Structure 1
Amino acid sequence: MSVLDDLKMIHERDAQDALGVALNQWQQLKETYNLPQIEGHFDNIVYAGMGGSSLSASLSQTWPGHKLPFEVCRTYDIPSYVTNRTFFICCSFSGNTEETLSALAQAEAKNAVIVVITNGGKLAEIAQTKGYPLAKLPNIPQPRYATLAILKAVVEALAAASLCDSSCVTDLEDYAEELKTQLDKYRPDVPTASNPTKQLAQELVGSSVVVYASSLFYPI
């Protein structure tokens, strides 16, 4: 038996069940955040987020894309061009990321139009106190495992501000079942003989892996 088919060994090496989280990511596309309609005339979009909380911002540049100039802010300070005509998405999974909270305070000082994406913490408290549209993320072990949940929230926020077609939201929901079907092929209990990911892992043993991608696919 291939070591890749030894479920006991897999569970011992994957004590936090990262594989299980990955296999259930399709469910994140079913999340609904019920954001209100956001009025405004915008010149640009700025997304403030760090680490795993910023991955979905990069994905959004590939799909659905942006009608306006878009920048990801991964630092304490926001771009100098931010004004009251900036659509400002503030995302921290924990809600306590220092850099993101700093960026939010600066965006407030510029009177930017603010949307918050978080699981809780100080960021959720600020959003609730000040009445900012809030996409409350589901409980997920780590931010990088929440990429699709955050992407869904980003797309809902863009649609609420008429910065992407509302059909993009339903497109993600419709894709959830297709993603589930595809992921079922890669489950740990699917034998190597029928599992493309295990076969690829065997081919790569002893090799140095370099991933090359076009600008369209690099965020993935």
Structure 2
Amino acid sequence: MKELLDNLRIYPRIDREDMYSKIFNMPSDIEYVLKAMEYLKLPEKIVVKGKSIEYGRPNNVVICGMGGSAIGGIILKDLLWELTSIPIEVVRDYVPPSYIDEKSLVILVSYSGNTEETLNCLLYSLKSGAMLYMITSNGALLKVAEKHSIPHYRVPKGYPPRAAIIHLTLPSLYIISKLLDMPIYLEQLRDTVKLLRKLRTSIAREVPFEENIAKVSAMKLLNKIPIIYSYRPYRGIGYRLKTQFNENCKILAFFEEVPEMNHNGIMGWESTTQYSKILKVVIIRGSKESTEIHHRLKFLEELLESRGVEYLNIRSSSKFLIGETFELIMLLDMITYY
């Protein structure tokens, strides 16, 4: 298997969608979004089907999307958890919460523009008079946005939704920051571009197995069922990793949050000795790890060791949250790629 991962000739035959380039294009994707956002101008008011929608400071934010189009909202909620008192909710369903009104900002995200659940949320949102913002590449959502001059970000075509994570996350961050008059952390995003370009040099296909943390981690997960644990503000990253295992690797994977899992899920390890050979725990960690969470994870590690279950700690090297977030996403994406 080691030799296979270092054999550069096999990748074009297996990677027919060229996911490698899409993962490695994350730094350029950030630059693309930053450039596009320079031209974003929010209207004071628009009229959609006779209903007036006025843009201003929202009382709450609701992000509607499904699958890969929803994950950006989950990650964004983690990024903004300690930065705003405005509640942010992610809806992966047909119906937004009943409380949305003209003081709500509803962000509708659908890569295809034709996602049934998201379009249904649009209908409810139009009735409420909520401020609308759309993120899409095409389809019915784009047609509605263009017809009624609804502010929107057009995602470049050619991505599977799971690979368009930058395009499905950063425009929402920008619009929320603009309406709430918050700093957009442009310098941190530019530093993130540098961070990701540096990371690429250590996890590229050309980097030999022994020196490539993504290849080594992938090897440890081979023929295993991943059980993923993480905590705020890295919960969205953990959930995304679960879905990347599902979609990229076509394997089962499971995700739980700490400390919630300490009140239920952890009990499952009491009788899993017979399954220890097929399970592998992945713990996603970062600089925002509190003392309480650290102690909980220490206990979890000791429990796993007593049950003979192997685990991986995946950490970020960055010291700022936006950098950590996208560094972990790129690294974990490459682990699922290998």
Q: Same fold (TM over 0.5)?
A: yes
Q: Which runs of 5+ in 1 are unaligned?
A: none
Deviation at 1:210, TM superposition (A): 1.9
Superimposed CA distance per residue, residues 64-89 of structure 1 (whole angstroms, 9 cap, x where no aligned partner) = 33431111111111110011010111
Contact 1:156/1:169 (8 A) holds in 2: no
1:23 corresponds in structure 2 to 24
Mark the CA change 1:114 to 1:163 in structure 2 (over 3 Å): closer, same or farther.
farther
1:55-66 maps to which residues of 2 (within 5 A)? Answer: 55-65=71-81, 66=84
Are the structure 2 counterparts of residues 50 and 208 from structure 1 closer, same or farther at C-alpha, using a change threshold of 3 Å?
closer
Moved more, 50-59 or 157-166: 157-166
Residue 70 (structure 1) aligns with: 88
1:162 is aligned, of 175, 180, 189, to 180
Q: Is the 8 A contact 2:77 2:89 kept in 1?
A: no
Shift, 1:161, TM fit: 1.1
**Aligned: 1:5 with 2:6:** yes
> Structure 2: which 5+ residue stretches go unaligned?
44-54, 238-338
Other-structure match for 1:35: 40
Q: Distance in 1 between matches of 2:138 and 2:187?
A: 26
Equivalent position of 1:99 in the other structure: 117
CA-to-partner distance for each residue in 1:119-139, whole Å, 9 max, x for gaps? 121111111111111111122
**Counterpart AA for 1:11:** P
Aligned residue runs from structure 1 range 192-207, under 5 A:
192-207=209-224
Alignment pair present for 1:117 and 2:135 = yes
Deviates more, 1:188-197 or 1:171-180: 171-180
Residue in structure 1 matching 2:100, options 82, 85, 109: 82
Residue 170 (structure 1) shift? 4.3
Q: CA RMSD in A?
A: 1.8
Instruction: Check 1:146–1:204 CA distance in 2 against 1; reply closer, same or farther (3 A cut).
Output: same
Secondary structure of the corresponding residue to residue 89 of structure 1: strand
Larger Rg: 2
CA contact (8 A) 2:145 2:151 kept: yes
* Bigger mean CA offset, 12-21 vs 172-181: 172-181
Number of positions where the alignment pairs a residue of Structure 1 with one of Structure 2: 219
Partner of residue 218 from structure 1, selected from 228, 235, 240: 235
Alpha carbons of structure 1 residues 2 and 60: separation in structure 2 relative to 1, 3 Å? same
TM-score (norm 2): 0.61
- Deviation, 1:163, is 5.5
Tell me by how many angstroms 1:46 deviates. 0.5
> Using the alignment, how far apart are the partners of 2:42 and 2:178 within structure 1?
5
Give the 3 Å change call, closer, same or farther, for CA 150–173 of structure 1 in structure 2. farther
Q: Percent identity?
A: 26
Give the 3 Å change call, closer, same or farther, for CA 142–155 of structure 1 in structure 2.
same
Q: CA offset at residue 203 of structure 1? A: 2.9
For 1:76, the aligned partner's letter is Y
Moved more, 17-26 or 110-119: 17-26
Bigger mean CA offset, 63-72 vs 151-160: 63-72
The alpha-carbon distance between structure 1 residues 163 and 46, as it changes in their structure 2 partners (threshold 3 A), is: farther
- Quote how far apart the aligned CAs of 1:169 are: 4.1
CA distance in 1, matches of 2:118, 2:218: 37
Cα offsets for 1:142-168 (capped at 9, x unmatched): 1110111221111111122125323x3
Give a deviation string over 1:53-112, Cα, whole Å, max 9, x none: 011101111213343111111111111001101011111111111111111111010000
- For residues 181 and 218 of structure 1, the distance between their equivalents in structure 2, rounded to whole angstroms, comes to 24
Q: Tell me whether 1:189 sits opposite 2:190 in the alignment.
A: no
Counterparts of 1:140 and 1:172, CA distance in 2: 24
8 Å Cα contact 2:108/2:135 also seen in 1 = yes
CA apart distance, 1:206: 4.4
Quote the Cα distance in structure 1 between the aligned partners of 2:153 and 2:222: 41
For the 8 Å contact 2:112–2:139, the answer to whether it is kept is yes
Deviates more, 1:39-48 or 1:169-178: 169-178
Whose strand proportion is higher, 1 or 2?
Answer: 2
Asked if the contact 2:57–2:180 (Cα under 8 Å) also holds between the matched residues in 1, the reply is: no
Q: Which has the higher contact order (CA 8 A, sep 6+)?
A: 1
